[in-house]
Chains A and B, each alone.
Chain A
């Protein structure tokens, strides 16, 4: 056996910087294993230090390449960087190909960098269910920043903004005309807008469009937080814009601290986490294979036969839960 009773537990080893133990804890947490939950109980008091940074944007938009460049800049400042890179799971088989690591291989032997791939397991919103809990484990192990790279997303995946303190929204030049920048959705949740592939001819125009629109939004008073989302153009091949992006991230962090927004966001993150877990547990209770809920089946029958609206059925389920 690898672990005798005399050996310190996983959480102690995580706190002492043991990467093998950290990797295992991440697995247990990801799988809702009781060992992971117990480890998290011990690790959680040591969290609350890391800057949680979300990166989202379309598939193939250069997110992983951008993260790789950010790692380089952070390592120059001696920061310990953790990356959680999420890729989609197959809706058919549950399997997944996790390939974000390919773009970050140069850090494989650097003890100040830890990259972990995570399958979405059909959670939705470009995230995975336990991603925040994994970030907590990295936080406890002394990593700061902790970067969460979402599944490649479309126009409306904004869940990352309710998990991260700073959200970077990647925009790719040459993927649509100026109307795209007028649309509502994920564009509005980026704390920093990053135009990747800045060496492409359309990059300048996209950057200008995004900057102009930001001013319109500010004037209209839509965004009242007081933070003006900067637009940063980057190019990994030309090694441009990363310094400005690092500055923008630092400025956002400073603004969060000074304005009191950090405390608000933290509370929002915690609220989202708790409510999502409750929703999830309830859904599994209702749909689980071993729930044996004959009442639910009866309600499904009634709705399928158009004798009952889904709204009524849901109200009925809630009423039953409340009575318990």
Chain B
């Protein structure tokens, strides 16, 4: 069998990482999100792609129903400082603040500490190689345990 017979981490680690790729905000630029989705797919992740114009509630409910390990957000509008607080609140509301939240797009370095304080695990600024994001997710996707 291709799984660990115990209850623990090995079985968890062997399954594909599930990532929600969403594009919050009102601008219609989804190229970044699509590139991100493609890179994650090529890395062997299972990507749930919800596309443009995602509200915080849509992101949170998709994260809940799809039980993703990672929420990847692409932001190109410059509105990240106002978009992130309600997204993090909505994730907490549905009990999905355990997901790893990463962001990419046009986010200037000086805004990163404030976003990290909100609970965004990692911000990939302009020009970050996609492979860095892939490696970061592989290394940091949360492992979980439950009782049946």
Q: How far is the CA of A90 from the CA of B95 in the complex (A)?
A: 31
Contact stretch, chosen from A29-37, A172-180, A228-236 = A29-37
Q: Are A101 and B48 within 8 A (Cβ)?
A: yes
Number of interface residues of B (CB under 8 A): 42
- Write the B137-148 contact mask toward A (1 if CB under 8 angstroms, else 0): 000000011111
Q: How far is the CA of A20 from the CA of B92 in the complex (A)?
A: 12
B residues in contact with A312, CB < 8 Å: none
Contact stretch, chosen from B35-43, B75-83, B122-130 = B35-43
A residues in contact with B50, CB < 8 Å: 101-102, 105
Q: Are A284 and B2 within 8 A (Cβ)?
A: yes
CB proximity to A under 8 Å, residues B1-48 = 1-3, 5, 7, 11-12, 14-16, 18, 37-38, 40-48
Q: How far is the CA of A10 from the CA of B5 in the complex (A)?
A: 19
B residues in contact with A143, CB < 8 Å: none
Range of interface residues on chain A? Answer: 35 or more
B residues in contact with A314, CB < 8 Å: none
Contact stretch, chosen from B57-65, B101-109, B113-121 = B57-65
Knowing A97-B38, A109-B57, A284-B2, say if A27 contacts B67 (CB, 8 Å): yes
Interface centre among B41, B45, B65 (most CB of A within 10 A): B65
Q: Counting CB contacts under 8 A, is B98 at the interface?
A: yes
A residues in contact with B42, CB < 8 Å: 90, 93, 95
Q: Are A26 and B67 within 8 A (Cβ)?
A: yes
Q: Are A108 and B148 within 8 A (Cβ)?
A: no
Q: Are B47 and A96 within 8 A (Cβ)?
A: yes
Q: Counting CB contacts under 8 A, is A250 at the interface?
A: no
Q: Counting CB contacts under 8 A, is A256 at the interface?
A: no
Within 8 Å by CB of A108, from B1, B2, B47, B62, lies B62
B residues in contact with A36, CB < 8 Å: 148
Q: Are B146 and A98 within 8 A (Cβ)?
A: no
Q: Are B44 and A94 within 8 A (Cβ)?
A: yes
A residues in contact with B38, CB < 8 Å: 97
CB proximity to B under 8 Å, residues A6-26 = 7, 9-11, 19-20, 23-24, 26
Q: Counting CB contacts under 8 A, is A99 at the interface?
A: yes
Q: Are B5 and A20 within 8 A (Cβ)?
A: no
Closest residue of chain A to B42, judged by CB?
Answer: A93
Q: Are A38 and B49 within 8 A (Cβ)?
A: no
Q: Are B148 and A3 within 8 A (Cβ)?
A: no
A residues in contact with B144, CB < 8 Å: 2, 24
B residues in contact with A34, CB < 8 Å: 3, 5, 7, 11
Q: Counting CB contacts under 8 A, is A208 at the interface?
A: no
Q: How far is the CA of A38 from the CA of B43 in the complex (A)?
A: 31
With A3-B147, A34-B7 known, 6 other A-B pairs at CB within 8 A are: A1-B145, A95-B41, A96-B41, A97-B41, A108-B61, A109-B57
The 9 closest A-B pairs by CB, nearest first: A38-B148, A95-B41, A23-B67, A108-B61, A31-B15, A39-B148, A95-B44, A27-B67, A93-B44
Q: Contact residues of A with B, CB < 8 Å?
A: 1-3, 5, 7, 9-11, 19-20, 23-24, 26-28, 30-39, 41-42, 89-90, 93-99, 101-102, 105, 108-109, 114-117, 119, 121, 284, 288-289
A-B contact pairs, 8 of them (CB 8 A): A24-B67, A24-B146, A30-B15, A90-B41, A93-B41, A99-B49, A102-B50, A105-B58
